[in-house]
Amino acid sequence: MKVKTLFLEAVKSRTFVALWALMLVQVIILIILVSVNIHPRQLQIPIRFDAFSAEQYFREQWFYLFNFVVFGVVVFVCNSLISLKILDIKGRHLALGFLWMAIVVLLIATILIAAILHVAGIQ
């Protein structure tokens, strides 16, 4: 089936629309969170921690934090398209379960990104 017909089939289900709306709200919250907490500066910010290397904090420029917004949008788009494909192949219940799993991933990502932005704001 084409993506358009799959999308029209999924839109008939209120559950699909509600889960897509919830994912979209999570992505919008992520965009707002990142845009409010990013401050342009010359200092490099810590982006990654590694306990096993000599240099524990790896640093990058401030615009690296925009990648978190890209991550949220990519997760939203890809998981929406994959759920449509699962709807076509395996059925409604498995596709809804996949959407719930994507919502949990976005929730965990938002919490982790908020913590990273908090650490980046301290420097």
Average pLDDT of 80-92? 89
Q: Which amino acid, 77?
A: V
Say yes or no to pLDDT of 123 above 60: no
Q: Which residues pair with 48 in a beta bridge?
A: 58
Could you report the per-residue pLDDT of 63-79, keeping only the tens digit for each? 777 888 899 999 999 99
Domain positions in the chain are: 3-122
Residue of higher predicted confidence among 34 and 63: 34
**How large a percentage of the chain has pLDDT more than 90?**
39
Q: Which amino acid, 48?
A: R
Task: Quote the pTM value.
Answer: 0.79
Let me know if 27 is exposed, middle or buried by CB neighbors in 10 A (0-12, 13-18, 19+): buried
CA distance 84 to 19: 13
